[in-house]
Amino acid sequence: MNYILNKENEIYYECGWSSDNALFLFLDGEKYIITDGRYILDAKEKADAIVIEARDLVKKAKELILKKRVKKLIIDPNNWSYKSYVNLQKVVNLQNEDNFSFKKRVIKTPNELEIIKEAVKIGANAFDEFAKVIETGIDEYELSFRFKEKLTNRNRRPLSFEPIVAINENAAKPHAEVSDKILKKGDLLLLDAGVKHKRYCSDRTRTIYIDKNISMDKKQKFPSDIQKVYDVVLKAQEEAIKAIKVGIKAKELDKIARDIIQNAGYGKYFVHSLGHGVGLDIHEWPFINSKNEMRLKEGMVFTIEPGIYIPGEFGIRIEDMVAINYKGEAEIL
């Protein structure tokens, strides 16, 4: 099986190194990295591959393909520009395979699971540290700054994505951007963030009540109108997690959580899928949505994150990462 890759995380998975300008080829059992002069020394030190320097990466890849007399090459057409795809097609029969790398990476090795567990632990600790510096009278920008300071340990580790920090009605936007809204006692605050450990991502969401004692615990005490909605979201998450087992379809998990929210009268306010896989990419296989027929297997890692978003009022989401370990058990990370 010969194939070519051009995305950073896909390349890193194959050889332990990548950059923003590199190609990876697997040809007749050998690994090749093509990159430019800016990265060549680093690549030679770290990549488990034969490293080739070039300014025009696709041109050099074509030369290598011809030299190796490769007849057929697997490629994920979603990841390539039309120009590069056509250029490669001139020298080799391209075999399209959508999500080629996601398929390879959907089952995590025991070592990957340990790295991801550590990423989740680091992220959860950062949430708790942030709870100590939350105070009223500051806006979402300042809250976001303080949150990122704790998540990154003052810029010593990378984020999985730009954190979401949203107060009250801003939290009704699932991917809210920070605003100048000021945090007050009695407010609802939604926090969604993750960190990377050895390049693997974590992802977590908490919706908390701002009072004297601020906690990241999932057992929150809100005013009664919000508490009713919060309890529905929490139940949806808990029941979906309980149902996780080897062989269940992704869409069946989505339905369990969605039915609970629907039956409570909030179905139209649950506007996204139940979850997504997490690994080197923050969004990867398996996607836990209403259409995915994939059966869950040992070694899969994904989020369970139901939400209810009421425009103009508030939004609630609760998210944890779950792994199916090699005993076949669902494990909240």
Q: How much is the pLDDT for 248?
A: 97
Render pLDDT for 271-303 as a digit per residue (tens, 0 to 9). Answer: 999 999 999 999 999 999 999 999 999 999 999
Contact status, residue 52 vs residue 34, Cβ threshold 8 Å: yes
55-101 pLDDT, tens digit per residue, is 999 999 999 999 999 999 999 999 999 999 999 999 999 999 999 99
Give me the residue spans of the domains in the chain. Answer: 3-105, 110-332
Task: Give tens-digit pLDDT for 189-217.
Answer: 999 999 999 999 999 999 999 998 999 99
Q: Which tokens hold the place of 281?
A: 């990419």
Q: Which 3 state secondary structure label does DSSP give 209?
A: strand
Q: What is the pTM of this model?
A: 0.93
Q: What percent of the chain has pLDDT over 70?
A: 100
Rounded to whole angstroms, how far apart are CA atoms 258 and 275? 12
Question: Are 53 and 37 spatial neighbours (Cβ–Cβ below 8 Å)?
Answer: yes
Structure confidence by residue, pLDDT tens digits, 147-179: 999 999 999 999 999 999 999 999 999 999 999
Fold of 110-332: Creatine Amidinohydrolase (3.90.230)
Provide CATH code, domain 3-105.
Answer: 3.40.350.10
Among 262, 297, 257, CA closest to 273: 257
Pick from 83, 275, 314: which is nearest to 181 by CA? 314
Query: How many helices and strands in the chain, by DSSP H and E?
Result: 9, 18
Nearest to 183 by CA among 159, 209, 203: 209
Query: What mean pLDDT is reported for the chain?
Result: 97
DSSP string, 49-92: SEEEE-SSHHHHHHHHHHHTT--EEEE-GGGS-HHHHHHHHTTS
What is the pLDDT at residue 201? 98
Confidence of residue 11 (pLDDT cuts 50, 70, 90): very high
CB 302 within 8 A of CB 275: yes
